[in-house]
Amino acid sequence: MNLNLVQRSILDRRISLIIYALGVAAYGILMTSIWPSMADDLSTLEQLWENYPEGLKTVFGADIPFTRFDGFLTLEYFTIMWIIIGVAFSASVATGALAGEIDKGTMELLLAQPVSRVSVVLSKMLFHAAGLAFLIAATMIPLKLGALVIDAELSTRGVAALSLLLFFFVMSFGSLGFLFSAWFSDRGRAVFAVVGLLIFAYALDILAKFNDFIGNFHFLSLFRYYDPYPYMHSATIDWSDLAVYAGISLTASALAAFHFRRRDIAV
């Protein structure tokens, strides 16, 4: 691990990190601010939800109560919206870290310094993990404060548990992003691979709910292990799901470091 590299990553990414943080915080504040007007007319809301087609309810999560603040946030924010933002951040950092530097030709300058390739990978991964934690904090703190302001129920333990799930879930995408980044010399291809993986995982998750045959392959989708409502509502942590994400993250990170250590760096 090289602190100079971590510090450089922070300085290089500070503007985009702040923009991402402001974005997630603003979206959370927006959701919080519209909840009181919706809560005033819960019966209409409930009716609206009941009238949704079954298929649509299955896609969004049939068992999530739309009429609770934590359910509303889960459906409106954490089912897909936050995931897109989180994975976009993660993909951007991971693919820029290795493939981006090779693509721009700066990796040759970096590796002309006394720093090992494994240290380069680990330092950039550390920044990625810290950046992701910051993004989650920038999401959750305004939500919790907003809930206090509007006097809505939002368990602190639930927020912490969901933060853990979001961290592990997005880390798995980020680690796979690092693997693609270590593999390709072209950042665009690495980004394409992460985005493709996200779309594949989401599509497989949805299709598996409707088709028994595809359901046999549901375990291949990273969304299969992502069920945010129990975390948010009752702080129920499914450690086996987190273990899957941790396993994917550790394996992908190790493979990324291993491959990057052995590969040629040619502009």
Partner 1 sequence: MARSTELTISCSDLTKYYGRVRGIEGLDLGIRRGEIFGFLGPNGAGKTTTIRQLMGMIRPTRGIATILGLDSWNDSVEIKRRVGCIPGDVNLYDQLRVHELLDYVDRFRPGVDPLRGELVERFDLDTGKRVKSLSSGNRQKVAIVLAFMHDPEILILDEPTSGLDPLKQQEFYNLIEEMRERGKTVFLSSHILSEVERVCDRVGIVREGRLVDVSTIEELMQRKVRHMDVRFRDQPAAAEFEALPQVSSVQKHDDHMRITIRGDVDALIKLLATHEVEDLTFKQPSLEDFFLSFYDDQGAADEP
In the complex, which residues of this chain contact partner 1 (CB under 8 A)? Answer: 2, 4, 8, 12, 104-106, 108-109, 111-116, 262, 264-267
Smallest gap from Cβ 186 to partner 1, in A, equals 15
Rounded distance between C-alpha atoms, residue 132 and residue 148, angstroms: 25
Smallest gap from Cβ 24 to partner 1, in A, equals 24
Dihedral angle, C-alpha 226, 232, 237, 240, nearest 10 °: 0
**Burial of residue 228 (number of CB atoms within 10 Å: 0-12, 13-18, 19+):** buried
Smallest gap from Cβ 265 to partner 1, in A, equals 5
Rounded distance between C-alpha atoms, residue 76 and residue 66, angstroms: 9
Smallest gap from Cβ 266 to partner 1, in A, equals 6
Say if residues 79 and 61 touch (Cβ distance below 8 Å): yes
Instruction: Supply the DSSP symbol for 237.
Output: -
Smallest gap from Cβ 164 to partner 1, in A, equals 34
Q: Among residues 14 and 157, whose Cβ is nearest to partner 1?
A: 14
Q: Among residues 19 and 199, whose Cβ is nearest to partner 1?
A: 19
Q: Among residues 116 and 236, whose Cβ is nearest to partner 1?
A: 116
What stretches of 40-155 show up as alpha helix (H) in DSSP?
A: 42-51, 54-60, 69-73, 81-95, 101-104, 107-110, 117-150
Q: Among residues 8 and 224, whose Cβ is nearest to partner 1?
A: 8
Smallest gap from Cβ 118 to partner 1, in A, equals 10
Structure tokens at 267: 């502009």
Rounded distance between C-alpha atoms, residue 64 and residue 233, angstroms: 10
Say if residues 9 and 127 touch (Cβ distance below 8 Å): yes
Q: Among residues 41 and 108, whose Cβ is nearest to partner 1?
A: 108
Q: Among residues 212 and 262, whose Cβ is nearest to partner 1?
A: 262
